[in-house]
Amino acid sequence: MQEAKRTNKDCRKYKWPEGKKCAFVFSVDIDAESPFLWDNRGKKIVGLGELEQRRFGPREGLYRLTDLLAEFSAHGSFYVPGIVADTYPEILPFLIENGHETGLHGYYHERVEQLSPAQNAAVLDKSIATYQKHTGALPRAYRSPAWEQTPELVAMLIERGIEYDSSLMGFDHPYRIGGLVEVPVQWVLDDAIYFKFSGGGKDLWHPANPEAVFDRWVEEFEGQREFGGLFMLTCHPWISGRAQRIRLLRRLMTHIAQYDDVWWATAEQIAAHHKASHQCASFDVKADLIDTDFTV
């Protein structure tokens, strides 16, 4: 009897632990004032408006998010810029004491593609030193500000013992890029593209309808469950720590919790699973750029 031919779908389907259909990570970028400071570097800041809006995150929003996770007996992955760790030194110890994962997120939320390799190395080393100062340990996780990466920075992360990055979107399950495990993100699962609104006439769009966002996120989750992917939700305390967004997130998590075939994990657990998986090498890609020095 002739053996049935395996399809590409069979060969490429990602395998989660214990036969789970998909994975769910609740990730949080505690940006607070850091992007505002980076964008206004060298300028005199005269207004309190956006600063106070962003300070809501470490003052109140963060703790609403951790309380929400506790309602589901879940832990999150929190990425903290160095300046936020220095300005609010209670944050990293609090998160670690409550069982959450923590990782790097730049120092001033710098845009890595705008910096030279030497500048990125200096920022990375400063961020590592800051993390170690507040936790007594070396960081194992990194998420790039604004979700950009460079081949040089990927190599630097490996050299400094970082276990994984969570900034790119080359698959919708973990993979390796340039030898570094990537736990991928998605823009459509980032609260900022729907709800970020700073005021002062500089916003490009108004906040989205929460019901429409809820429906979109549920549909995205159902799609990941069908295709065996990672549902990586990304929230910011100054945005999703607001009362209405907490209620929206609770509804979303209640929907996810009805399924027993979903692996609720931290990004670090996802990365560890991928490293140990027999599929690991099947999803290796190079951290290469495209040469645009051509003419038509």
**CATH number of the domain residue 213 falls in:** 3.20.20.370
Report if residue 87 sits inside a domain. yes
pLDDT of residue 11: 54
pLDDT of residue 9: 55
pLDDT of residue 10: 54
Dist CA 179 CA 96 (whole Å): 28
pLDDT of residue 294: 82
- Which of 215, 251, 220 is closest to 233 using CA atoms? 220
Dist CA 131 CA 245 (whole Å): 29
Residue 3 CA from chain centroid, whole number: 42
Report if residue 10 sits inside a domain. no
Q: The domain containing residue 206 runs over which residues? A: 19-285
Does residue 108 contact residue 34 with C-beta atoms inside 8 Å? yes
- Which of 122, 127, 73 is closest to 102 using CA atoms? 127
Report if residue 14 sits inside a domain. no
Beta-bridge partner residues of 231:
24
pLDDT of residue 292: 86
Enumerate the H helices of the chain as residue ranges.
Answer: 8-12, 34-39, 49-56, 62-71, 82-87, 91-97, 117-135, 151-159, 192-195, 210-227, 237-240, 243-257, 267-276
Rounded to 5 degrees, what are φ and ψ at 174?
-65, 150
pLDDT of residue 238: 97
Report if residue 209 sits inside a domain. yes
pLDDT of residue 170: 97
Burial of 16 (0-12, 13-18, 19+ CB in 10 A): buried
Type of residue found at 28: V
Coil, helix or strand at residue 144:
coil
Dist CA 245 CA 29 (whole Å): 15
Report if residue 2 sits inside a domain. no
pLDDT of residue 1: 40
pLDDT tens, residue by residue, 212-249: 999 999 999 999 999 999 999 999 999 999 999 999 99
- Which of 265, 169, 182, 259 is closest to 222 using CA atoms? 259
Ranges of the chain whose pLDDT falls below 50 = 1-4, 6
Greatest CA separation for the chain:
79
pLDDT tens, residue by residue, 56-76: 999 999 999 999 999 999 999
Report the domain count for the chain: 1
Q: What tokens appear for 43 in the block?
A: 């300028």
Structure-token match 């994990």, residue found:
265
pLDDT of residue 3: 45
Dist CA 135 CA 258 (whole Å): 36
Q: What tokens appear for 228 in the block?
A: 């065996």
SS3 content of the chain, % helix, strand, coil (to 5): 50, 15, 40
Report if residue 55 sits inside a domain. yes
Burial of 212 (0-12, 13-18, 19+ CB in 10 A): exposed
Q: Measured between alpha carbons, how far is residue 45 from residues 36, 37, 39, 49, 177 in Å?
A: 10, 9, 11, 11, 39
Report if residue 165 sits inside a domain. yes
Dist CA 22 CA 226 (whole Å): 8
Report if residue 8 sits inside a domain. no
